[in-house]
């Protein structure tokens, strides 16, 4: 699997999205492992 690098802005958007929606759905959508999150 290719390693993904996120910018600071992308990380903040993902965190805000996780707060508004379900965390599990958000990390699946973006392909993030739970340990990474």
* pLDDT tens track for 1-37: 567 788 999 999 999 999 999 999 999 999 898 888 8
* Confidence (pLDDT) at 5: 85
Question: pTM score, two decimals?
Answer: 0.74
* Confidence (pLDDT) at 1: 55
Rounded CA-CA distance 22/5 in Å is: 22
Task: List, in sequence order, the alpha helices (H) in 1-37.
Answer: 8-20, 23-30
* Confidence (pLDDT) at 8: 94
* Confidence (pLDDT) at 4: 77
* Confidence (pLDDT) at 37: 84
């Amino acid at each position: 699997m290719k390693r993904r690098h996120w910018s600071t802005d992308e990380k903040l958007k993902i965190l805000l999205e996780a707060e508004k929606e379900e965390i599990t759905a958000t990390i699946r959508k973006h392909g993030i492992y739970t340990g990474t999150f």
